[in-house]
Structure 1
Amino acid sequence: MRRRHLLLIPGLTGLNGLTTGSARAHDTRVGDLLIDHAYALPSAPGQDQGQAHLRKLSNRGVRPDRLLGASTPVAASVLLQRHGLTVPAIELPPGIELSLRHDGEWRLLLQGLKAPLLNGQRFALLLRFEQAGECEVRAWVQQPRGPGGSQH
C-alpha cells in the first residue's frame, strides 16, 4: 500500500506542472509589461470590423510605456480606441493594471476583416510598445460568458 502512494505522489506532481503551464499560456511578458489573455469577439459574416481585447495589460516596471499600435493578418488595420474614439496611444504609467476587456472603455478595433472571426479560432496579434518594443500574442476568438467574464 505504502509503495502505491509513493508512486502516485510523483505522478500528481507531474500533473500539477502541466496545469500550471497551461494556466500561464495566456500570459506574455515583454520588458516590464505583462499581457494577460488576448481575445476577440466572434463576428458575423459580412461584418468588416471586429474587436480584440486584453484581459489585463500591466506595467510592472519603474518607467512609463505606451501602446502605440497593433497589427494582425486577419484585418487590414487595428485602431486603439477608448469609449469608441480612436486614440494615438494608450498610456501605461508604472504600476498600472489596465483592462482592455469587451465590457470596458478600451478596445482594439480590427478594421477590414479578411474573413469572419469564428468562435474557437486563434490568430496572431502584434502589439507595438514605445519602450518594450514589439510583442506577438495569440488571440482566441470566443463569446464571453457574461458581464465581465471571458472563457479562458
Structure 2
Amino acid sequence: MEDKILVITSSILDQGALPENRRAGHGPLSVVSDLIDLGVNLVPVPNISKHFDLYRKDITKEEYTEEAYQKYIKSHLVPLVNEVMERVRNGATFLGILSYGADETQRVEPESSPIMIELFRLFDRNCMLTPYYEIKENLPPEEMELIISEIAVSLSI
C-alpha cells in the first residue's frame, strides 16, 4: 500500500481551535473524511500559535521576543518536517500542504503567517518541492465538496 502524505494545518482537524465566527462547522472539515477515503495519510501541523500563547504565560516579558517566537515555531516544525522527509526516503509520496484560510496563524493567502513561512523554508532546505492548497474561508457547502476533487485531480490520486 502506498504511503501518500499530506501535511494539514491544525484548524482543518479542529474547528474548535478557531474563534466561533471563523469556523465552518463543528469538528474537522468535511475534506478530512474524503482525504482518508482516498488513502491519504494526514500529518497535522500543531496549533503552534496557541501553544506559544500558553507557554508565554510562564516566561518573563524579557524572554518574550519575536526571536523567541521564531525559535519556538522552528522547534515544533523541524520534527514534523524530519518525519515527513524520513517517510519520503522510505518510499512515501509527499503530496504537499493543505491549509484553511480562516486560520490566520496557519495560512498563506492573503498574507503568509510566520508558521507557514518557516514550514515552507524547512521543506525548501530539504530540497522538497512543496505543492500548496488552501481551503478558502466561507465557502458554500457545494464548493467545499469540490475542493477534494480539485485536490485529487491535481495530485493524481
- Give the TM bin, normalised by the shorter chain: under 0.3
Query: TM-score, normalized by length of structure 1?
Result: 0.25
TM-score normalised by L of structure 2: 0.24
- Give the structure with the higher percent strand: 1
Structure showing greater radius of gyration is 1
